[in-house]
Amino acid sequence: MTSAQIAVVMTQLGRGGAERQTYLLLERLAHSPWRPKIVFCLSDDIEPYGPALQKLGYPLEIIERGSSYDFGRLFRLRRRLREEKIDFVHAVHLLASGYVFLAASLGRKPRLLPSARGTVVTPSLIKRGIYRWMFRSCSKALVNSSLGKEYLVNYFKAPRERIVVIPNGMDFDDLRRGASESKLRSELGIDRDAAIVGFVGKDSPVKNVPCFIDAMRRVMQKDSRLHAVLVGKGLDETARVRLAEDLPKQRLHLLGPRDDIAAVISGFDALVLTSNTEGCPNVVIEALGLGIPVISTAVGDVEEMIERGRTGFICPVGNDAEIAEKTQQLLSQREKFRADLRERLPSIEKRFSLETMVERTTDLWAHLLGC
């Protein structure tokens, strides 16, 4: 229980893992004593989670930047934190954390919980210096993966004992409800006995979509019935010429962003993650929670999420040949993998439950507020 005035500051509210996790957290807190007073967003990229938060009754205020080093935005944020009498700020992502840290240092000082999600960030020397100063000054910092913790320690010299790891959380009951109406095969006209391998993520360098395409090209050469499905921002039909003009349209499906992600994933026979870096990837939790095995590159905490040879495989980053090989191996034993996943689902749900994430987060808030 707390009477503290809490704010959440986001870098953006578009489609992304951090944004979705923050929305799920605030959704659970909407009718609790820990409900934040206001959400600030440091860009006008607010779809879809900005309107969703407003629908929950959260005031949303956009403080855009005019340049890379926008001191006006810094002072606007400082003024608004003071006007709202904010006692505590949960900042999501490094950029938002840095802005709050500087804004608080300039005036009234709300307690700050900075957070980091990625494990490869290369800020300028000035920003790197600010982040190092921030991590030395704040009593705690939040990450969602063990690898993220090591990254902050090694790259920003953050005190190890101050970094708290809270993995992403998922509402597995809600996930399964969303998957119950899956009609992916009928939508795409795919026969029941043909295999579907899926990719979910936006088209950005870190997700390494070309690696997925190259791996699928290898598998398609050996399996004339394989279908590959890509879902995410930038992965619609307009991307075909750039990514895979040589692959057959009838077997490579570019769906773009979807709101029915659970229903789409549940139609896969396997999910493939080809990222160059991750923390605690939501899509892996979603797939495993739906009983879909995963082939992933060795990024973030996937070593702790995927049991090799039982719930999926882990491959070296960028190695499309091995990803293709493991995809074929998994598809040839897909019933075995699904049976193994059913057996291990209780332990997956326990570790990555939304309730656990919310409880651990508010416990950390209470500790920082002295409640």
- Tokens 């309730």 belong to 355
Same domain (yes/no): 55, 204 = no
- Tokens 């920082």 belong to 368
Same domain (yes/no): 52, 193 = no
Same domain (yes/no): 31, 178 = no
- Tokens 């440091």 belong to 42
Are 41 and 12 in contact by the 8 Å Cβ rule? The answer is yes
Same domain (yes/no): 10, 154 = yes
Same domain (yes/no): 298, 346 = yes
β-bridge pairing 163-165 and 60-62: unpaired
Q: What is the pLDDT of residue 190?
A: 95
Return the CA Rg of the chain. 21
Is 78 inside any structural domain?
yes
Domain hosting 244: range is 172-351
Same domain (yes/no): 163, 176 = no
Q: Give the residue-averaged pLDDT of 288-297.
A: 97
Is 178 inside any structural domain?
yes
Average pLDDT of every residue of the chain: 93
Adjacency order of strands within the sheet including 60-62: 60-62, 38-41, 6-10, 88-92, 111-113
d(C-alpha 201, C-alpha 230), whole Å: 8
Same domain (yes/no): 160, 195 = no
Is 1 inside any structural domain?
no
Is 250 inside any structural domain?
yes
Q: What is the pLDDT of residue 371?
A: 81
Cis status, amide bond into 205, omega within 30 of 0: no
Residue 50 has pLDDT above 90, yes or no: yes
Q: Give the residue-averaged pLDDT of 29-48.
A: 96
C-beta atoms surrounding 225 within 10 Å: 11
CATH number at residue 112: 3.40.50.2000
Same domain (yes/no): 218, 264 = yes
Residue 205: enclosing H or E segment and its boundaries?
none
Query: Quick one: tokens of 277?
Result: 């870096």
Segment 302-337, tens digit of pLDDT: 999 999 999 999 999 999 999 999 999 999 999 999
Are 25 and 361 in contact by the 8 Å Cβ rule? The answer is yes
3-state DSSP assignment of residue 206: helix
Segment 96-110, tens digit of pLDDT: 999 999 998 865 578
Q: CA dist 17 to 109, 117, 217, 280, 285, Å? A: 29, 9, 28, 9, 11
Q: What is the DSSP string of 342-367?
A: HHHHHHHHHHTBHHHHHHHHHHHHHH
Q: Give the residue-averaged pLDDT of 192-199.
A: 96
Angle CA 279–267–298, to nearest 5: 25
Q: What is the DSSP string of 250-285?
A: TTEEEEE--S-HHHHHTT-SEEEE--S--SS-HHHH
d(C-alpha 67, C-alpha 71), whole Å: 9
Is 307 inside any structural domain?
yes
Spell out the long-range contacts of 100-109 with Cβ–Cβ below 8 A and sequence spacing 24 or more. Answer: 100/9, 101/130, 101/133, 101/134, 101/137, 101/138, 102/74, 102/130, 103/74, 103/75, 103/77, 103/78, 104/78, 106/74, 106/75, 106/78, 107/78, 107/81, 107/82, 108/81, 108/82
- Total of domains in the chain: 2
Q: What is the pLDDT of residue 67?
A: 66
Running DSSP on this structure, what letter comes out for residue 223? Answer: -
d(C-alpha 290, C-alpha 323), whole Å: 21
Q: What is the pLDDT of residue 182?
A: 78
Same domain (yes/no): 125, 195 = no
Model-level pTM greater than 0.85? yes
Segment 109-126, tens digit of pLDDT: 789 999 998 766 777 888
